[in-house]
């Protein structure tokens, strides 16, 4: 089992100061990462409640069986952010993402209060991308207008399918008509909209998967995400698996969906992400390029870089425990150093999801390590034709994209 090194405090990332001495007690047996500058920083805000828990979902989400304590939770989020500011002091936030759960269960007034506090406590970049996840069964015209007025400039809508039978099989609370109505409302309210769609659904045919794709294209959003349904551990679908398309049919779905999207001007820029020109999801791009992110809210994760180390931290997972601990100035449940030996794999696990790969200089900028430190993995991946490399970039081949898990295993 990987050793976790707990930390009790963090040193602010200030490029005008000297790095902590390698004998610092905070470092334990870790070596200095040698980061010259901090990577870009994003903010993730988790809202954990849903109307109904979907049988395939393994996210930290909870059915709202009683009234949601919205005001108390907003106050806890603000307390969490206030406690976190010393660890990101002075760093600009380039994007904000409200994820869940179902953030669209919260009122526009609550979203406005949260964003007002973000602007007050942090230097939010001008024109920052601010995304809110929404589900078709929880949206209405006045609420979307209120979100826009609060500062939301991008909506990510969990469509999953435009077919009523498949939506029912997935346990969704909306039907096909609500899916289209919600998408049209989002597109008429916001300039930037992502639609989440899934394929390889229970008993799904190839033609039905392509029909979903055609409907998504007809709506003409600037961004689309197409996810292969997977049976995640500790979910009802994993315990009682539905009848799913076999691997060959799933592969046909993937290939023909990608071809259809390409025909209509959608760039396939990440494993599951497609966009019109200049419409990449900035928040997610920061994850994939091993940028930093502060996560606040129940169960949220953070990755924060400093001169001498890169850390991760998690919040208390259950909403009640999170609120109680945030109120007691103890929102963070656990924090640890990322071992130097793991940084290469963690970087590649994100960057190789991008179909265009990454500039080799980015590896050292984000990990503090030389690209030569992962030469063995690179050499093997080249021999297996899973990547291409030139003087400036490393790019996954089509074979590497199809067998991404095998490619990533080379860097463990």
Chain segment 306-331, per-residue pLDDT in tens: 988 999 999 999 999 999 999 999 99
Topology at the third CATH level for domain 41-285: TIM Barrel (3.20.20)
200 conformational bin, left if phi > 0, alpha if psi -120 to 50, beta if neither: left
Stretch among 15-19, 62-66, 276-280, 384-388 having the lowest mean pLDDT: 15-19
Q: How does pLDDT run across 357-378, given as a tens digit for each residue? A: 999 999 999 999 999 999 999 9
Nearest to 81 by CA among 104, 115, 57: 115
Tell whether omega for the bond before 101 is within 30 degrees of 0, i.e. cis.
yes
* Antiparallel, parallel or unpaired: β 62-63 and 5-6: unpaired
Residue 21: per-residue pLDDT: 31
Distance, in Å, from the CA atom of 297 to the CA atom of 46, rounded to the nearest integer, reads 5
Banded pLDDT at 18 (limits 50, 70, 90): very low
Q: What is the pTM of this model?
A: 0.90
Q: What are phi and psi of 97, to 5 degrees?
A: -135, 120
Q: pLDDT tens-digit profile of 207-266?
A: 999 999 999 999 999 999 999 999 999 899 889 999 999 999 999 999 999 999 999 999
Domain boundaries of the chain, sorted by first residue: 41-285, 357-412
Please name which of 304, 289, 380, 363 lies closest in space to residue 338, comparing C-alpha atoms.
304
Residue 36 banded pLDDT, cuts 50, 70, 90: confident
Percent of the chain scored above 90 by pLDDT? 82
The CA distance from 25 to 19, in Å, is 14
């Amino acid at each position: 089992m990987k050793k976790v090194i707990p930390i009790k405090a963090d040193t602010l990332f200030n490029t005008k100061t000297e790095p902590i001495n390698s004998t610092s007690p905070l470092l334990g047996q870790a070596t200095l990462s040698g980061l010259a500058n901090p990577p870009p920083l994003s903010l993730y805000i988790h809202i954990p409640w849903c109307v109904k828990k979907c049988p395939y979902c393994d996210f930290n989400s909870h059915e709202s069986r009683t009234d949601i304590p919205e005001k108390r939770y907003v106050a806890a989020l603000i307390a969490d952010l206030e406690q976190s500011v010393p660890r990101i002091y002075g760093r600009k936030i380039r994007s904000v993402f409200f994820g869940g759960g179902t953030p669209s269960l919260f009122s526009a007034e609550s979203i406005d209060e949260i964003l007002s506090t973000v602007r007050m406590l942090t230097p939010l970049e001008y024109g920052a991308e601010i995304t809110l996840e929404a589900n078709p069964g929880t949206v209405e015209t006045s609420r979307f207008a209120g979100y826009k007025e609060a500062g939301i400039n991008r909506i990510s809508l969990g469509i999953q399918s435009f077919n009523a039978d498949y939506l029912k099989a997935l346990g969704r609370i909306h039907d096909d008509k609500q899916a289209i109505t919600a998408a049209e409302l989002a597109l008429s309210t916001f300039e930037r909209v992502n639609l989440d769609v899934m394929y390889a659904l229970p008993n799904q045919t190839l033609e039905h998967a392509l029909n979903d794709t055609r409907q998504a294209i007809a709506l003409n959003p600037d961004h689309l995400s197409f996810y292969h349904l997977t049976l995640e551990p500790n979910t009802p679908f994993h315990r009682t698996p539905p009848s799913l398309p076999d691997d060959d049919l799933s592969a046909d779905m993937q290939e023909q969906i990608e071809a259809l999207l390409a025909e209509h001007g959608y760039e396939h820029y990440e494993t599951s992400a497609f966009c019109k020109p200049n419409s990449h999801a900035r928040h997610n791009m920061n994850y994939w390029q091993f940028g930093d992110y502060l996560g606040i809210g129940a169960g949220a994760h953070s990755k924060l870089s400093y001169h001498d180390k890169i850390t991760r931290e998690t919040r208390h997972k259950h909403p009640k425990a999170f609120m109680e601990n945030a109120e007691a100035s103890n929102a963070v449940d656990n924090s640890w150093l990322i071992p130097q030996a793991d940084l290469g794999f963690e970087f590649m696990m994100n960057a190789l999801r991008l179909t265009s790969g990454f500039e080799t200089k980015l590896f050292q900028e984000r990990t503090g390590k030389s690209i030569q430190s992962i030469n063995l993995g690179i050499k093997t991946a080249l021999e297996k034709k899973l990547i291409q490399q030139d003087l400036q970039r490393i790019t996954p081949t089509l074979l590497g994209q199809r067998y991404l898990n095998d490619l990533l295993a080379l860097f463990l």
